[in-house]
């Protein structure tokens, strides 16, 4: 589980991994709390303009580097779901 958020079993950083996490708390001083898959982390949110609780951000090395646009994400998921449905039709299988 820990490896999925960019920390190896030894606790050493794999430097370029970054994952989407949900902001659960926004504090002063550019700090906040984010969670993903039950993992909760203190993150630096000073690189994000006007961060809000409930937003998803991409967290890299403990810093939120950009917010995730949920509408864009959902649209892309819908595209892939549509492609998956087509691949499962008998016409495609043949």
Binding site for another protein (CB under 8 A): 4, 6-8, 10-20, 22, 30, 36-37, 44, 46-49, 56, 58, 60-63, 65-70, 72-73, 76-77, 80-81, 83-88, 92
Q: Decide whether 33 or 63 has the Cβ nearer to another protein.
A: 63
Please report, for residues 27, 30, 33, 35, 88, the alpha-carbon distance to residue 24 in angstroms, rounded to integers and kept in the order given.
Answer: 10, 14, 6, 7, 38
- Give the pair of three-digit tokens for residue 86: 């087509």
CB 21 within 8 A of CB 41: yes
Map residue 61 onto helix, strand or coil. Answer: coil
**Minimum Å distance from CB 22 to another protein?**
7
Q: Decide whether 25 or 61 has the Cβ nearer to another protein.
A: 61
Q: Decide whether 26 or 56 has the Cβ nearer to another protein.
A: 56
**Minimum Å distance from CB 62 to another protein?**
3
Q: How many CB atoms lie within 10 A of CB 43?
A: 24
């Amino acid at each position: 589980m820990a490896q999925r958020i960019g920390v190896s079993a030894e606790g050493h950083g794999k430097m370029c991994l970054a994952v989407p996490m949900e902001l659960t708390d926004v504090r002063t001083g550019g700090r906040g709390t984010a969670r993903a898959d039950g993992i909760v982390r203190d993150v630096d949110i000073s690189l994000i303009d006007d961060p809000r609780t409930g937003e998803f951000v991409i967290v890299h090395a403990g810093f939120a580097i950009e917010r995730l646009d949920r509408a864009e994400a959902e649209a892309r998921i819908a595209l892939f779901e549509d492609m998956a449905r087509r691949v499962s039709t008998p016409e495609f299988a043949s």
